[in-house]
Amino acid sequence: MGDKMRKVTVRSPATSANLGPGFDVFGLCLDEPYDIVSVEKMEENGIKIVVEGEKSEEIPTEPDKNTAGVVAKAMMKDFNIKEGIKIHITKGIKPGSGLGSSSASSAGVAVAINELFNLNLPKLKLVEYAALGEGVAAGSPHADNVAPAIFGGFTMVTNYNPLEILHIPVEMNVLIALPDIQISTKEAREILPKKIEMEDMINNVGKACGMVYSLFRNDIELFGKYMMVDKVVEPRRAKLIPKYEEVKEKVKDKVYGITISGAGPAIISIPKKEHLLEVKELFEEVWGRVYYTKVGNGVSVLEKDD
């Protein structure tokens, strides 16, 4: 069937990186929002990219400048794929939102090419390819969003060269607010300190360890509590998001945890069921768009066409 297969379509989900003290290590896969990515064989050589949907006019379609294009190029070169392909991306995740928009395109294409050409690659190898696309968006390849996009659940990137990913399946509901502003990953990285105090490092390592422990105990309350105590990254990035600190203070007893998602401006919270509506309404009033979703299972294949 492999050679006859003409097209593969996948659903590629949003992700949230950092989760407070887990900067550049922790990632969480979300069930929504998501992109739909299809890869189709074509008669002519090369890579053609079509993008529609959320802010699609801002996304370059030249393969070398598009995250998905970079991933496709690397995979086709390494596996000596001579056929041309057409990549079609329908963006459901707003670019520059802090919800892994570029990662969804990268991860989706890696999985679709793997299926379309029967490469049978393990998930870790798919993350490696997908991370190459992140180099276009963030300036250097990183895996904290593409890892949960491919593995699902909660992931930790514990090493590069060689890449190591640890994965914990988790279940929890999350409430995401998406302010109508854009923050580039590069800008959000530039404001970070070049050196940090020893006590801040100890705080963050301790809280990150506590978060991992809490997942094995299925203690969402503890997970959320530690998620809120980042002493290094969040205090700097908070200044980029209007009313963030004010809202965080207002809801701190109504949620288990709240922090900035990735580079922002999206905000991720773990709401307490009894306060869900109240927090959701406040988020909508202050920031506009809100997603109430759960932890997702990663990129999934929707269709395979002969």
Where are the domains positioned within the chain? 7-169+297-304, 173-294
Instruction: Tell whether residue 96 is among the known ligand binding residues.
Output: yes
Question: Residues 280, 108, 152, 134: what is their CA dihedral angle, to the nearest 10 degrees?
Answer: -80
**95 known member of a binding site:** yes
pLDDT at 159 (0 to 100): 95
pLDDT of residue 137: 65
Catalytic residue among 40, 115, 134, 234: 134
Q: Does domain 173-294 have CATH number 3.30.70.890?
A: yes
Among 121, 97, 99, smallest CA distance to 109 is for: 121
State the CB neighbour count (10 A cutoff) for residue 302.
Answer: 13
300 assigned to a ligand binding site: no
- Measured over the CA atoms of residue 71, residue 72, residue 74 and residue 79, the dihedral's sign is positive
In angstroms, what CA-CA distances link 299 with 15, 222, 248, 285? 11, 28, 31, 32
Name which of 66, 162, 138 is nearest 106 in CA terms: 66
Can you say how many angstroms the Cα of residue 284 is from the centroid of all Cα atoms in its chain? 22
pLDDT of residue 139: 67
Residue among 14, 97, 107, 16 nearest 55 (CA): 97
Catalytic residue among 9, 67, 185, 259: 185
Q: Is 61 a catalytic residue?
A: no
The b/e string for 230-262 (b: 16+ C-beta within 10 A; e otherwise) is bbbbbeebbebbeebeebbeebeebbbbbbbbb
> Does the annotation list 184 as a binding residue?
no
CA distance 143 to 163: 9
Q: Please give the pLDDT value at position 185.
A: 72
User: Rounded CA gap, 251 and 245, in Å?
Assistant: 10
- Two structure tokens written together for 216: 């094995």
Is residue 98 part of an annotated ligand binding site?
yes
Cis amide prior to 271 (ω within 30 degrees): no
Is 100 annotated as ligand-binding? Answer: yes
139 annotated as a binding-site residue: no
Which tens digits make up the pLDDT trace of 270-287? 999 999 999 999 999 999
Check whether 102 is labelled as a binding-site residue.
yes
pLDDT tens string 141-156: 789 999 999 999 999 9
User: Residue 117 — φ and ψ, nearest 5°?
Assistant: -110, 15
Residue 273 is predicted with a pLDDT of 95
Does the annotation place 97 within a ligand binding site?
yes
Structural fold of domain 7-169+297-304 = Ribosomal Protein S5; domain 2 (3.30.230)
pTM (two decimals): 0.94
Q: Which residues of the chain have pLDDT under 70?
A: 1-3, 137-140
158 classed as catalytic: no
Q: Does 103 belong to an annotated binding site?
A: yes
Residues whose CB falls within 8 Å of the CB of residue 143, separated by 6 or more in sequence, listed in order: 127, 128, 130, 131, 134, 157, 160, 163, 165
